[in-house]
Amino acid sequence: MRPVFAVVGHPNKGKSSIVSTLARNDTIRISQQSGTTTTADCVRVETAHAGYELVDTPGFQRPGKVLEWLQQKGVAADQRVAVIQQFLADEQCQQRFPDEIRLLTPIMQGAAILYVVDGSRPFGVEYEAEMEILRWTGQPSMALINPIENEDYVESWSKALAQYFKIVRVFNPFQADFAKQLALLEAFAHLKPEWREALDQVNQDLIQFREQQKQDSAELLARLLEDLCQYRVSQKVLEKSQADVVYPVLAEKYHHWMRQREQQTITELLAVYAHFQTKISVDELHLPPDLFDCEHWFMWGLDKQQLAIAAALAGATAGAAADMVVAGHSFMLGAIGGGILGFGSAWLGADKLQQMKVKGLPLGGFEAICGPVSNPNFPYVVIGRFVYLYQQISRRNHAQRTPLVINPLNLNEQIEQLDKADRKALHAACARLIKQKTVDSLSLLLLPLLN
Ligand SMILES: Nc1nc2c(ncn2[C@@H]2O[C@H](COP(=O)(O)OP(=O)(O)OP(=O)(O)O)[C@@H](O)[C@H]2O)c(=O)[nH]1
Ligand SMILES: [Mg+2]
């Protein structure tokens, strides 16, 4: 027997938002417009070894009139469930009160009740009719206070709801983090003893699944880093001078591929967290928009000093350490010396990023080559961008429908939180990556950065 919960309440109180967040499903319709949900929609929440169902329902439209109808039957407490059944079967009622019929049907079929109210709006007697009708169904129930705009009336709601519901919880579907979602599921398990085992299993499954999502994310970042650090394009030319002509074409091809590759990872990361409706493309990122927008790099990667420390920790040779310091220096010049868009952009233009080379071929002719990136800060930039998106996406509740707002990340702060061995291993990995050397268990080294 699967646990089933009907999410009911006034229109526009966040019922669908709660279903969306708990089911991790961003296709459920949520809108400012009252009366968005018009049918009782069953949403299955499947985990590895268990599952449960949430029924999203339309809001009560005429609870006062419905209660009047029920009370006119004038029956004692032991008859109330039968009166509700009668109400559902009555053809006139079906026409007059279609929303109440739809929302009460799953409850009478055995669903437990999750009654949702808005904690930022005052309690009013008009809600009493709804709560009274729900009480007549005799089904186990709990109340959820959703503080949509603020918590101003949470306390007064708590007092009112306690008279009708044994369990009252505050739950904000836009903000509730993973732990709060698990805690709510635990409360669900108290509603019916026979559902307890299944819901405990769901909880355990979710915890494991979340760990798996993190590992999958680390794997995505590892593959991205390897690909971006290794990529190069080349073209054969007959004369050395022709290389100058093909460089712009090669550079364009190179940048296009690198951008696409990063974009692909972002799409995959969104899919890992089941955010299929959140469309973000690198081009739309507010800040900094572009993998090749070098003057913004310092916001994602490391600065001069941090790079020097990284080089020292990685045990780099004196030469490599000097490279890193020079690279860091150039970022700071780009940022401060020339102003964000002035001198810095010319000096640190994208064409400085990857190596352009022309090489003589043994059988005659030449090869013009673009890439791979040689700048030691590059792996950090890739990591910084990914970690920022990871933090946003992995914490994003599925009720959230506004676009992701991108801000720069202080990667160094994240790195400093690692213990010394992890930090050292990470820097060593970055130093190898930029030399196109393989790194064993790269995803494991990246995992501690994903929190
Ligand atoms: N900021 C914020 N807005 C919320 C929250 N919960 C719901 N909303 C907003 O409230 C409005 C209604 O949310 P829905 O989830 O569609 O409400 P509903 O109860 O399913 O509405 P109907 O289907 O029309 O009965 C939407 O504009 C949501 O964005 C919340 O926790 N925080
Ligand atoms: Mg709805």
For residue range 265-279, list pLDDT tens digits in order: 989 999 999 999 987
The listed range with the strongest mean pLDDT (70-74, 249-253, 281-285) is: 70-74
Residue 144 lies in a domain: yes
Describe the strand order of the beta sheet including 354-360 as a list of residue ranges.
233-237, 366-373, 354-360
pLDDT above 70 (res 417): yes
pLDDT at 347: 29
Q: Is 87 in the same domain as 138?
A: yes
pLDDT above 60 (res 390): yes
Helix (H), strand (E), coil (C) string for the chain: CCCEEEEEECCCCCHHHHHHHHHCCCCCCCCCCCCCCCCCEEEEEECCCCEEEEEECCCCCCHHHHHHHHHHCCCCHHHHHHHHHHHHHCHHHHHHCHHHHHHHHHHHCCCEEEEEEECCCCCCCHHHHHHHHHHHCCCCEEEEEECCCCCCCHHHHHHHHHCCCCEEEECCCCCCCHHHHHHHHHHHCCCCHHHHHHHHHHHHHHHHHHHHHHHHHHHHHHHHHHHHHHCCEEEEECCCCHHHHHHHHHHHHHHHHHHHHHHHHHHHHHHHCCCCCCCCCHHHCCCCCCCCCHHHHHHCCCCHHHHHHHHHHCCCCHHHHHHHHHHHHHHHHHHHHCHHHHHHHHHCCHHHCEEEEEEECCCCCEEEEEEEECCCCHHHHHHHHHHHHHHHHHHCCCCCCCCCCCCCCCHHHHHHCCCHHHHHHHHHHHHHHCCCCCCCCHHHHHHHHCC
Q: What is the pLDDT of residues 7-46, one digit of tens each?
A: 999 999 999 999 999 999 999 999 999 999 999 999 999 9
Number of structural domains, the chain? 2
pLDDT above 80 (res 317): no
Q: Is 118 in the same domain as 219?
A: no
pLDDT at 56: 98
Distance from residue 391's CA to the centre of ligand 1 (Å): 24
Amino acid, res. 39: T
Amino acid, res. 235: Q
Amino acid, res. 261: R
Distance from residue 16's CA to the centre of ligand 2 (Å): 4
**123 compared with 288, residue with greater pLDDT:** 123
Pairwise CA distance, residues 332 & 337, whole Å: 7
Q: Is 350 in the same domain as 396?
A: yes
Q: Is 271 in the same domain as 175?
A: no
pLDDT above 80 (res 65): yes
- Mean pLDDT for the chain overall: 86
Candidate of 7, 15, 19, 30 to mutate for ligand 1, largest count of ligand atoms within 8 Å of Cβ: 30
Here the tokens at position 111 are 């669903």
**66 compared with 246, residue with greater pLDDT:** 66
Q: Is 139 in the same domain as 240?
A: no
Examine the fold and report which residue of 191, 226, 246 is the final residue of a domain before the chain moves on: 191
Residue 206 lies in a domain: no
Pairwise CA distance, residues 386 & 108, whole Å: 48
Candidate of 7, 148, 175, 184 to mutate for ligand 1, largest count of ligand atoms within 8 Å of Cβ: 148
Residue 99 lies in a domain: yes
Residue 205 lies in a domain: no
Question: Residues lining ligand 1, judged by CB closer than 6 Å?
Answer: 11-17, 30-32, 34-37, 58-59, 146, 148, 172-174
Distance from residue 119's CA to the centre of ligand 2 (Å): 17
Pairwise CA distance, residues 385 & 365, whole Å: 40
pLDDT at 8: 98
Burial class (CB in 10 A: 0-12, 13-18, 19+), 253: middle
Task: Characterize 285-309 residue by residue with b for buried, 16 or more Cβ atoms within 10 angstroms of its Cβ, and e for exposed.
Answer: beebeebbbbbbbbbbbbbbebbbb
Q: Which is the closest atom of ligand 1 to the Cα of 147?
A: 31
Q: Is 27 in the same domain as 138?
A: yes
Q: What is the pLDDT of residues 125-153, one digit of tens each?
A: 889 999 999 999 999 999 999 999 999 99
Locus of tokens 């949403």: 43
Q: Is 218 in the same domain as 178?
A: no
* Residue of 59, 56, 64, 68 whose CA lies nearest to 33: 59
Q: Is 284 in the same domain as 342?
A: yes
Burial class (CB in 10 A: 0-12, 13-18, 19+), 429: buried
- Name the residue range of residue 226's domain: 212-449
**298 compared with 399, residue with greater pLDDT:** 399
pLDDT at 353: 53
Q: Is 229 in the same domain as 277?
A: yes
pLDDT above 90 (res 285): no
pLDDT at 291: 59
pLDDT above 70 (res 349): no
Residue 367 lies in a domain: yes
Q: Is 322 in the same domain as 444?
A: yes
- pLDDT band, residue 297 (cuts 50/70/90): low
Percentage of residues of the chain with pLDDT beyond 90? 63
Q: Is 232 in the same domain as 187?
A: no
**434 compared with 399, residue with greater pLDDT:** 399
Q: Which is the closest atom of ligand 1 to the Cα of 29?
A: 16
pLDDT at 302: 73
Describe the strand order of the beta sheet including 41-46 as a list of residue ranges.
41-46, 51-56, 4-9, 112-118, 141-146, 167-170
Q: Is 153 in the same domain as 32?
A: yes
pLDDT at 107: 98
Percentage of residues of the chain with pLDDT beyond 70? 84
Is the link from the previous residue into 372 a cis peptide, with omega within 30 of 0?
yes
Q: What is the dihedral of CA 51, 56, 60, 61, to 10 degrees?
A: -160
- pLDDT band, residue 90 (cuts 50/70/90): very high
Residue 111 lies in a domain: yes
Residue 197 lies in a domain: no
Give the number of other Cβ atoms within 10 Å of residue 182's Cβ: 17
pLDDT at 182: 97
For residues 172-188, average pLDDT: 97
pLDDT above 50 (res 348): no
Examine the fold and report which residue of 160, 191, 222 is the final residue of a domain before the chain moves on: 191
Q: What angle do CA 50, 56, 58 make, to 5 degrees?
A: 165
Locus of tokens 């971006």: 228
pLDDT above 50 (res 384): yes
Q: Which is the closest atom of ligand 1 to the Cα of 37?
A: 23
Distance from residue 259's CA to the centre of ligand 2 (Å): 38
State the CATH number of the domain containing residue 104: 3.40.50.300
Distance from residue 20's CA to the centre of ligand 2 (Å): 10
- pLDDT band, residue 337 (cuts 50/70/90): very low
Residue 105 lies in a domain: yes
Distance from residue 394's CA to the centre of ligand 1 (Å): 21
The listed range with the strongest mean pLDDT (124-128, 195-199, 366-370) is: 195-199
Examine the fold and report which residue of 191, 222, 242 is the final residue of a domain before the chain moves on: 191
For residues 239-264, average pLDDT: 84
Four-residue CA torsion sign, 84, 89, 92, 96? positive
Q: How many CA atoms lie within 13 A of 390 on its CB side?
A: 26
pLDDT at 150: 96
For residues 48-60, average pLDDT: 97
